[in-house]
Structure 1
Amino acid sequence: MKWSHALKDYKLFLKIERGLSKNSITSYGLDVERLITFLEINNIQESPLSISKETIQEFIYDIAKVVNARTQSRMISGLRSFFNYLIFEDYRTDNPLELIESPKIGRKLPDTLSLDDINRLIDAIDLSKPEGERNRAILETLYSCGLRVSELTNLKISDLFFDEGFIKVTGKGDKQRFVPIVSSAQKYINCYKNEVRNHLSIQKGHEDTLFLNRRGKQLTRAMIFTIIKQLAVKIDLNKTISPHTFRHSFATHLLENGADLRTIQLMLGHESITTTEIYMHVDKSHLKNVLKTFHPRK
């Protein structure tokens, strides 16, 4: 079996059987592609069915020179998944990564913004330009609903249920959930729709897409990153932030103000509550306040 054929079949498996998102499939594929490149550079003639643990170890030693422990750990996990797929399809009987340990890494706590940081970023938006209304609506939506950047860029007008106070979000693996949206975010989205979006020349296929660029096409993930980075520079914010920072801040602020983990999990679209539990480590004072408030022996 050729590597190209194995990789193609693996991606199809991830899409159909596991229901992963396009971005996740791409990430898994890149791990395998990096291994293939290593084999080609070193003229190692081993197929997906014959590659040995020793060769995998050589590859890991090689990548350890150029990537950090967290990236290395993720790549090992991705390759382990690939070879588990080959076992599942009866192409192999063993996984060459079975006994290979990932480097130990500390659990990275999410970066967060204060409410003042968020207000300053939004206040820095130049509303005299047409894209200003759009950018304000984008930041308000990110913070109001805790969306992933791909969920934001894929948001449709038909996903807005403002009368009920919800938006429909399509998350990882095309799983849909309804997320409440505050009235202020609704107001800014409507301002953008009525005052800016309605005057764009919308390209075919993007008629229902909410956030558009000047050419009437769906905004890219990279453009959302750029908007936020430029605003951070504008206000001299001494933090490294991204669209995901707004999602982290959304969850952290809800928790600090008394929301329960299960509710936050549902709004974030986390499959497992253990993923949501990371926010319990952001502000330990919340744990003490919960104990004081709810324990019978205060």
Structure 2
Amino acid sequence: MRAEKYAKLVDKQLQSLPKYVYYYAQQPNLAISTVYQYLSEYARFFTWLRETPEDFENPSGATISSAKSNKEMSLSVLEHLKVTQVQQYLQERRMSENRQSTGDSKVTLNRTINALRSLFHYLTVVADLNDGEPYFYRNVMLKIPLYKGVKESIAYRNAKYGPQLYMNNKKFEWIDFINNDYVNTLSAHAVPYFNKNKERDLAIIALLLATGVRVSELVNLNLKDLNLREKSIIVVRKGDKKDAALIADWAIPYINGYLNIRESRYNPQKQQKALFLTLQRGIGQRITSKTIEVFVNKYSIAFPNGSRTTPHKLRHSLGTEIYDKSKDVVAVATQLGHTGLSATDQYIQQSSEDKQRKILNQTTESHSGKPN
């Protein structure tokens, strides 16, 4: 999603939130996408404060906040929040069912905690609109720890995620399957829809595998961001930082194949700048991340020699493959747009599996017997 679209969504959310949240959102060190996610967290938390009894043993009594709307949420309520109340909110989030019929994961809850920590830090330390003083000084979020995650060994991660990676010949076999054989798995009713989007889907999968960009970065690409001569694309990374990602040579024919049919098949209006399109009411519109996630899932499930995967695992595929061939963590970080080298550890771990297996197999080289 482009920054201008996030800005519109942020402005809409701020209209239903208190003034102090508006001032919080104006901080220059916050990425617009982060602000959007955090505002959603605040809206949900404020709604809970307005609907939850102050005394859980007396459900019919007064609620934690008497505000009639989130916009009227008083600073006094936040200042005097109890640790037990925040813990109750998190516990309810963890136990309540979401769209997947499960409670929020520890990762999701930690995102909520970090969002609230950020707001409370602003209110108690950064803000100086109260005659040069913060709004209040008591920060209940300092007493709320993050959830500790379940640790996974390298071997477990490799066994869990390895089948979802598409590297070396496997990625070419998968693309060849989509190009030539996938249609044979479809009903007659589904064939026309697949044929309409075939070149686009192949180009997107090729670009994900050949650049390692995030799916959010890919959907935001405009035509002008693609440089076929230099075989590169201009992407906006996290924190709204622009970067140039190189495209592996093998993907160029698939991109050209899509460009050749982009206008005739998707009928974009002249002002439509998006590189990848989807048809909506006969007009080409910017494709969404959800659309890409759906067809990547669909094609990978149908592939006989593969496993279900996601756009993010395609990014991991390239990172692992680059490290496997180069043993150069800087090359991985540069291609994937990492700001530090610590994020490359997962690719080093994945690449180490083959080496570990070779070492293990050496322990049997002198054994000539056969199992009983």
Report the TM range for the smaller structure's normalisation.
Answer: 0.7 to 0.9
After superposition, the Cα gap between the structure-2 partners of 1:21 and 1:269, relative to the gap in structure 1 and judged at 3 Å, is farther
In structure 1, stretches of 5+ residues that fail to align are: 289-298
Residue 74 of structure 1 is aligned with which of 99, 111, 114? 111
Say whether 1:100 aligns with 2:141: no
The aligned counterpart of 1:35 is 45
- The CA RMSD measured in Å over matched residues stands at 2.7
Which letter maps to 1:32? Y
Which letter maps to 2:221? L
- Which protein has the larger Cα radius of gyration, Structure 1 or Structure 2? 2
Give me the whole-angstrom Cα distance separating, in 2, the residues matched to 1:86 and 1:237: 54
Which letter maps to 1:235? F
Say whether 1:48 aligns with 2:107: no
Give me the whole-angstrom Cα distance separating, in 2, the residues matched to 1:41 and 1:155: 42
Matched position secondary structure for 1:167: strand
Matched position secondary structure for 2:178: coil
Give me the whole-angstrom Cα distance separating, in 2, the residues matched to 1:230 and 1:250: 20
What TM-score do you get using the length of structure 1 for normalisation?
0.83
Cα deviation 1:223-258 (Å, max 9, x = unaligned): 111111211232257744221111111101111112
The aligned counterpart of 1:149 is 215
CA contact (8 A) 1:255 1:286 kept: no
The aligned counterpart of 1:173 is 239
Q: CA deviation at 1:273?
A: 2.0
Say whether 1:86 aligns with 2:98: no
Give me the whole-angstrom Cα distance separating, in 2, the residues matched to 1:152 and 1:218: 11
The aligned counterpart of 2:24 is 10
The aligned counterpart of 1:291 is none
Q: Pairwise mapping of residues 106-255 of structure 1 onto structure 2 (< 5 A)? A: 106=150, 109=157, 111=161, 112-115=164-167, 116-125=169-178, 129-206=195-272, 208-214=273-279, 215-235=283-303, 239-255=307-323
Task: Among all aligned residue pairs of Structure 1 and Structure 2, give the percentage whose two residues are the same amino acid.
Answer: 26
CA contact (8 A) 2:165 2:313 kept: yes
In structure 2, stretches of 5+ residues that fail to align are: 1-15, 53-62, 66-75, 96-102, 128-133, 181-193, 357-372
Give me the whole-angstrom Cα distance separating, in 2, the residues matched to 1:192 and 1:74: 38
Matched position secondary structure for 1:91: coil
Say whether 1:279 aligns with 2:279: no
Give me the whole-angstrom Cα distance separating, in 2, the residues matched to 1:240 and 1:97: 39
Give me the whole-angstrom Cα distance separating, in 2, the residues matched to 1:268 and 1:283: 16
State which drifts further: 4-13 or 238-247. 4-13
What TM-score do you get using the length of structure 2 for normalisation?
0.68
Q: CA deviation at 1:185?
A: 1.3
Matched position secondary structure for 2:278: coil
Give me the whole-angstrom Cα distance separating, in 2, the residues matched to 1:27 and 1:107: 26
Q: CA deviation at 1:204?
A: 5.0
CA contact (8 A) 1:130 1:196 kept: no
Matched position secondary structure for 1:210: coil
Say whether 1:20 aligns with 2:31: yes
After superposition, the Cα gap between the structure-2 partners of 1:125 and 1:6, relative to the gap in structure 1 and judged at 3 Å, is farther
Give me the whole-angstrom Cα distance separating, in 1, the residues matched to 2:39 and 2:151: 25
